[in-house]
Amino acid sequence: MRVKLLTIVGFVAMVILAIGATTSWSQQQSERYPTATELQRLREKLRQQIRSLNITDRRSPAEKQSREAFVRAWSRVDAAVAPFLGDWSGYEEGLSIYPSNTRGRVCLIYIGIQEAELSLGTVSNGQIRTNQREVILKEGDYLGVASVRDNKPDIFVETPYSFPISLRSPRQFAESSRTTTEEVNKVVREFNAAGCTAALPSRR
């Protein structure tokens, strides 16, 4: 019985350590923005990732049309930002990219398992540069996040974000991570304070 109990305790400890390692990895900050030369190489890596993937586009025609209509509406107001907008799926994580009331700026909500976080980005030359020193590259219906850790530029996630659908409210999206109410409220407060929106652009 004692041996069995020790085995269970050891297994639980291993699980806790694994979760801790996963969390610390996901929270690692990029040390700097990748250079233009580094980004050229990383874009090719993203293309290779896409070619090697076997991901099925499970969006319904209605989901595609709804997101495309949203993008078209925003393209009349901010053509650089519009192609990035939507709720992008990743492997056990997600990234929603929202427009803002500032031209050229986007608001990003990242969700993982019991984790939600807001960041801001500016769109330039068909890329998003975030305030966390990351660069988001777009290839068709796929996104890759380029960053630098231990002075090594890379796309550290092997499965790109893909197949965007229409945006949910920031609260709904953050809640889907099953994180705490406190963390969801924090994301929503920051979202509103930054002038982000999930709505269609107002008529001008």
When the candidates are 2.40.128, 3.40.50, 2.160.20, 1.20.120, the CATH number that belongs to 31-193 is: 2.40.128
DSSP-derived 3-state class of residue 181: helix
Cα–Cα dist 101/105, whole Å: 8
Looking at residue 7, the DSSP 8-state letter turns out to be H
pLDDT of the residue at 203: 59
Look up the pTM and report it. Answer: 0.84
Res 115: pLDDT: 95
Structure tokens at 182: 């406190």
Domain boundaries, the chain: 31-193
Q: Is the pLDDT reported for residue 26 higher than 90? A: no
pLDDT one-digit tens code per residue, 69-108? 999 999 999 999 999 999 999 988 999 999 999 999 999 9
Over residues 123-139, mean pLDDT: 96
Q: Which two structure tokens, joined as six digits, stand for 114?
A: 């019991």
